[in-house]
Structure 1
Amino acid sequence: MKLNYKINGTGQPIIFIHGLFGNLDNLGVLAREYANDYQIIQIDLRNHGLSPWSDEMNYQLMATDVLALINELALDHIILIGHSMGGKVAMTLTQYIADLIAQVVILDIAPVSYASDSHNKVFQALDACFNAPVSGRSNMHNIMSEYLPEHTIQFLLKSYKADKWLFNFRAISRHYADIRGWSEIARYNQPVLFIRGGSSDYIIDEYYSDILMQFPYASIETVVGAGHNVHMAKPQDVIALINSWIK
């Protein structure tokens, strides 16, 4: 699948990979930090943003999509930075292109399967939106306000343009078990930086053994006071950790 992407700058490439229900702009606060010194590549994963939709969706397919773009752009010595679902895509890529990767940074996700109800309210809200007889941003906001806090609504509305949702909600719903799940991959015997939000439950202490089993040279850093969207809550803290890692 040919993914939609945005590319800026020159130098060593950094690929930014967004999370579930996101798009290529979601890691923009980080991408802007490195735009003067690196080649910045922000992508829309399948069924998100302006990339094509598909009835099929799992981490092997999403990683293969990104790999096709890497080959198209003839990239090498790549830095991968992935958040949440995008972090799992980045982890999956390590088993395919270890020789092309220079650094990997994973934002608040672990190589584990998560509880099936972790996005329950989001799915209820979006299902109500997709079944509503009305359209329009204000109507979508009002519908979601019955289920979700304002910050989550604003995040989702970033993917609502011209009275249309940019993500394939039906396909994502059908494959949610694949998205929240995880299949063990080959060990990646190179350093990987995991950055966890101190107030998030996506990387809890019990998951450290799972991380180290597949990424034995991983470093795990905590940003105190940040939740799952750690890069939005404490961008300068995250940037400082990334700088110390890649520089």
Structure 2
Amino acid sequence: MPLELAFETWGSGPPLVILHGLFGAGRNWTNVAQSLAANYRVYLPDARNHGASPWAESMSYAEMAHDVLALIERERLQQPFVIGHSMGGKTAMTLALSHPQAVGGVAVIDIAPESYTGQFSSYVSAMRNLDVGAAGRREVRRTLAESLRADAPVDFLMQTLRRERDRFDWRLNLLATGLCMRDLCDFPASLREARYEGPALFIAGAESDYLQPASLPGIRALFPSAALERIEDAGHWVHADQPEALLRGLNEWLRDACALDPN
């Protein structure tokens, strides 16, 4: 059964849903959403086990796509455009491939429909091992940084730390995330023969290795109309590294995809 996701909204116009990545929350995309809200009704949901959304023991891409589909149906959105980053990008792809009639177009940021190996499990372990309730934010950040590699996104991980009354806690189901990490790093094999014929854009951070030109044949097999764009001087967190360049790319694609007058 799908979960009822927490979400925030901005603007008015054609509907647009932005799906955040692993360890994130919808609010990480607030600046992008507020910029797009000049022309669109933007929805920022928190994924299951993230932010203010309900927790669950499992979090497969099929389940997360159904969560988003339930939001679309509950809000009576007519074929919204769906933008997803990283884990959210895989969720967006899963939704488009499994329920193509529900989606007007899909934009995927710095991820491909393939399997990855990475250090995410070490992030979960480090966060679970911290007694954040008894520590201050500065102490938590220092200890977390000491337990991870020098290139770990410590400041990004710290954004999930929230004060609840007189204690801190992670707004993230770390146990479920850790147990589901293999599925989160993979892509559903059941969708390998599926196709989404609608508008599709794949945006890569030029300094990231998550979305490479070698991924394009696999992308086009699933998304025949896919266009690939690279944003210079951006890593995996494109929206934080180059927000203006990302917005330019998204606005151009959205205008073409839904035939909005750019003026």
TM-score range, shorter chain: over 0.9
CA shift for structure 1 position 67: 0.8
Change (3 A) 1:28 1:150: farther
CA–CA distance in 2 between the matches of 1:9 and 1:242? 16
Q: Which runs of 5+ in 2 are unaligned?
A: 256-263
Matches within 5 A, 1:117-128: 117-128=118-129
Within-5 A mapping of 1:10-21:
10-21=12-23
Match for 1:118: what amino acid?
A: Q
Name the aligned partner's letter for residue 201 of structure 1: D
Q: Give the Å deviation of 1:120.
A: 4.6
AA partner of residue 162 (structure 2): K
Name the residue aligned to 2:170.
Answer: 165
Matches within 5 A, 1:1-247: 1-115=3-117, 117-129=118-130, 134-146=134-146, 147-149=148-150, 152-162=153-163, 163-184=168-189, 185=191, 186-247=194-255
TM-score by length of structure 1 reads 0.93
- Provide the secondary structure at the position in 2 that maps to 1:15: strand
Post-superposition, which runs of at least 4 consecutive aligned residues in structure 1 deviate over 6 A? none
In the alignment, residue 157 of structure 1 is paired with which amino acid?
A: M
Question: Which TM-score applies when normalising by structure 2?
Answer: 0.88
* 1:108-160 deviation digits (Å, cap 9, x = unpaired): 00000101x33254234213325x78333223112111114487121111111
Tell me, what secondary structure is at the counterpart of 1:105? strand
SS at match of 1:14: strand
Q: CA separation in 1, counterparts of 2:140 and 2:198? A: 44
CA distance in 2, matches of 1:94, 1:63: 9
Q: Report the aligned-residue RMSD.
A: 1.7
Deviation at 1:176, TM superposition (A): 0.1
Q: State the AA in 2 paired with 1:172.
A: T
Match of 2:143, as an amino acid? I
1:61-95 deviations in whole A, cap 9, x for unaligned? 00111111111000013111100000000001113
The count of residues paired between Structure 1 and Structure 2 equals 245
Q: How much has 1:225 moved relative to structure 2?
A: 1.5
Q: Give the CA deviation at 1:208.
A: 1.5
Unaligned runs of 5+ in 1: none
Distance between the aligned counterparts of 1:27 and 1:150, measured in 2? 22
Alignment check: 8 A CA contact 1:4 1:51 kept: yes
